[in-house]
């Protein structure tokens, strides 16, 4: 998200913050934290294994804390999109873990509205990617569909939970790809991964 917009192939390894100190690109960390946590929960939602409590540790520390930190570091680099996305989804994972651990969901309708709010937010974030690059557009479009189907599932419509799980796995794979593209662009490497610049 930071320096993963259209200029990813030209991104240098560091940026200069206002203080003049070198700042590494926090986007690969945020994307990896998002991808791994999403992958594990989505596999549970897709019914590939039983017991989504396994995701709680990841949700607190990797998807939550590490991604929230990446969002704060994005503020320092001046990337409003990355800061908003990583901070928000980091907070999502913290809220998710807390809610599951302490059994705070009173019913499926309440869960549906929780997910609906994130569906709307993700739709707005997708709109913001339209001038960035195809990798981020694909990521946020798939994430939007993931939340949409999870919302439908919570409201009792069809196999939304399972479909959302498989869409979440696809979302995680795209996030890992985009993270690797960011890593490779910020260090000497034998090759770069294209992200499809749009602007």
Task: Answer whether residue 2 is part of any domain.
Answer: no
User: pLDDT tens digits, the chain, 199 residues: what are they?
Assistant: 545 544 444 444 445 555 667 779 999 999 999 999 999 999 999 999 998 789 999 999 999 999 999 999 999 999 999 999 999 999 999 999 999 999 999 999 999 999 999 999 999 999 999 999 999 999 999 999 999 999 999 999 999 999 999 999 999 999 999 999 999 998 888 889 999 986 4
190, part of any domain: no
User: How confident is the model at residue 56, as a pLDDT?
Assistant: 97
Amino acid 65: pLDDT:
99
Tell me what pLDDT residue 91 has: 99
The answer as to whether 14 is a domain residue is no
Tokens 């439908």 correspond to what residue? 152
Listing DSSP states for 2-21 in one string gives: TT-STTGGG--SEEE-TTS-
Q: Could you give the count of Cα atoms lying within 13 Å of 124 in the half-sphere of its Cβ?
A: 9
Backbone φ and ψ of 21, nearest 5°: -80, 145
Strand, helix or coil at 139?
Answer: helix
Whether 100 and 143 have beta carbons less than 8 Å apart is answered as no
Shortest CA distance to 105 belongs to which of 117, 95, 92? 95
Asked if the structure places residue 137 within a domain, the reply is: yes
User: What is the enclosing helix (H) or strand (E) of 23?
Assistant: strand 22-24
pLDDT for residue 51: 82
Residue 8 placed within a domain: no
| Three-state SS at 197 | strand
The encoded tokens of residue 174 equal: 């795209």
Q: Is 77 inside any structural domain? A: yes
Q: How far is CA 153 from CA 20, 45, 161, in A?
A: 49, 10, 5
CA distance 112 to 140: 20
Say how many domains are in the chain: 1
pLDDT of residue 16: 53
Q: The pTM is what?
A: 0.89
Q: Please state, in angstroms and rounded to a whole number, the distance separating the CA atoms of residues 86 and 91.
A: 8
* Residue 192 is assigned to a structural domain of this protein: no
Residue 4's pLDDT is 55
DSSP state, residue 24 = E
Q: What pLDDT score does 187 carry?
A: 85
Residue 197 lies in a domain: no
Domain residues for the domain of 69 are 23-184
Q: Residue 1 has what pLDDT?
A: 57
> Contact at 8 Å (CB) between 81 and 107?
no
Distance (Å, rounded) from C-alpha 97 to C-alpha 92? 9
């Amino acid at each position: 998200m930071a320096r993963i917009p259209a200029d990813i192939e030209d991104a240098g390894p560091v940026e200069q913050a206002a203080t003049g100190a070198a700042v590494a690109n926090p986007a690969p960390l945020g994307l990896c934290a998002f991808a791994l946590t999403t992958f594990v929960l989505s596999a549970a939602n897709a019914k590939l294994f039983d017991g989504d409590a396994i995701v709680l540790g990841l949700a607190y520390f990797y998807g939550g804390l590490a991604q929230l930190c990446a969002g704060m570091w994005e503020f320092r680099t001046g990337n409003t999109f990355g800061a908003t996305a990583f901070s928000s989804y980091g907070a999502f994972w913290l809220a998710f873990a807390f809610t599951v651990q302490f059994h705070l969901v009173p019913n499926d309708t309440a869960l549906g509205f929780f997910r609906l709010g994130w569906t709307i937010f993700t739709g707005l974030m997708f709109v913001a990617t339209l001038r960035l690059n195809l990798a981020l557009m694909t990521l946020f479009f798939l994430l939007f569909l993931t939340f949409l189907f999870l919302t439908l599932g919570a409201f009792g419509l069809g196999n939304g939970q399972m479909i959302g799980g498989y869409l979440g796995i696809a979302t995680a794979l795209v996030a890992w790809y985009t993270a690797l593209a960011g890593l490779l662009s910020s260090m000497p490497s034998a090759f770069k991964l294209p992200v499809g610049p749009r602007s």
